[in-house]
Amino acid sequence: MASESKAVIYAAMAGNLAVAITKFVAAAFTGSSAMLSEGIHSVVDTGNQVLLLLGMHRARKPPDRDFPFGYGKEVYFWSFVVAILVFAIGAGVSFYEGVVHVMSPEPMSSPLINYIVLGLAILFEGASWLFALHGFRKAKGKWGYVEAVQRGKDPSLFMVLFEDSAAMLGLVVALGGVWLSQVTGNPIFDGVASMVIGLILAGTAVWLAIETKGLLIGESANRRVVDDIRDIVGRHSQVEAVNEVLTMHMGPDFILVNLSVRFNRSMPAERLERVISELDKSLKQQHEEIKRIFIEAESSLEGNASSEQKQV
């Protein structure tokens, strides 16, 4: 999954950087506000991919005394930062540029350059979008697209897809703004297009922030995983009942599990640890993303109830 995410991010970063340069060159020659906004958008997207790679790199740091469960949530933190940057820089600057050009419209020169650059940008962004879509389809499995975003625990894949989708939509809007400005002779349409691009980016950023917030706070494993844990533990011959199943994603591939289990009351004490080890092995074999398991064991020894907590 990590290699798949990295490939998608690198492809998006290379495409955004190349497109950003051509957009800024075109904006300098033509004076197009929408083109300038699109250039800013591409620069922000390029920086965002760098931050996602930084998060993935830092998430690989091993656990230490200060962070005993590792640094997996670095991915979630930097993904949230990306959402903030898309909103603050991408959306804010684009909308501001649009307002300025609506209030003080300036005619475009050489609109043909804009058409050429936008056409190339759609081609490059489209290739990046298809690459991100392919990676997302492989990751989502049988889930629907919206469901996969809501349940997904690796934000890097759907963030790149969101950004590329917003970029494609923004390019279409920019193309429409340039065309309307040319055919009507009214440059105000170029500024309006820039404002619309800003709104598109703002909406994308808000959705990204909402989806990342739960992961950053401490989202549980998917319901299917929780149900599997309860079923595996409950089927053991020495388990009478599974009371609580608490899970938390400490990273895309790290699930922390805390269980409250009532064991067979006739089971001797020396057998308890062996049973817990068996449960630990079974759970980790079924779901390799489960890395740490804590079990609060309820048992009875010679008729006296006792409770003990085991870490496995």
Mean pLDDT for 240-246 is 92
d(CA 65, CA 120): 51
**pLDDT higher than 90, residue 36:** no
**Residue located via tokens 């895309």:** 252
Sheet holding 239-251, edge to edge: 239-251, 254-263, 290-301, 304-311
Q: Which fold has domain 223-297?
A: Alpha-Beta Plaits (3.30.70)
Architecture of the CATH domain 1-217? Up-down Bundle (1.20)
Residue 190: what residue type?
D
d(CA 77, CA 33): 33
What pLDDT is attached to residue 303?
Answer: 40
Domain with CATH 1.20.1510.10 in the chain: 1-217
- For 61, the 3-state DSSP assignment is coil
Write the CB contacts of 71 (distance below 8 Å, at least 6 apart in sequence): 58, 59, 60, 61, 63, 251
The helix (H) or strand (E) run that includes residue 108 is: none
**pLDDT higher than 80, residue 107:** no
Looking at the DSSP bridge assignments, the partners of residue 239 are: 263
Do 275 and 238 form a contact (C-beta atoms < 8 A)? Answer: yes
Question: Residue 209: which of 93, 77, 107, 36 has the closest Cα?
Answer: 77
- Tens of pLDDT, residues 139-153: 777 777 777 777 778
- Tens of pLDDT, residues 175-219: 898 889 888 888 888 889 889 988 988 888 888 888 888 888 888
**pLDDT higher than 90, residue 292:** yes
Domain with CATH 3.30.70.1350 in the chain: 223-297
What pLDDT is attached to residue 301?
Answer: 47
Looking at the DSSP bridge assignments, the partners of residue 247 are: 257
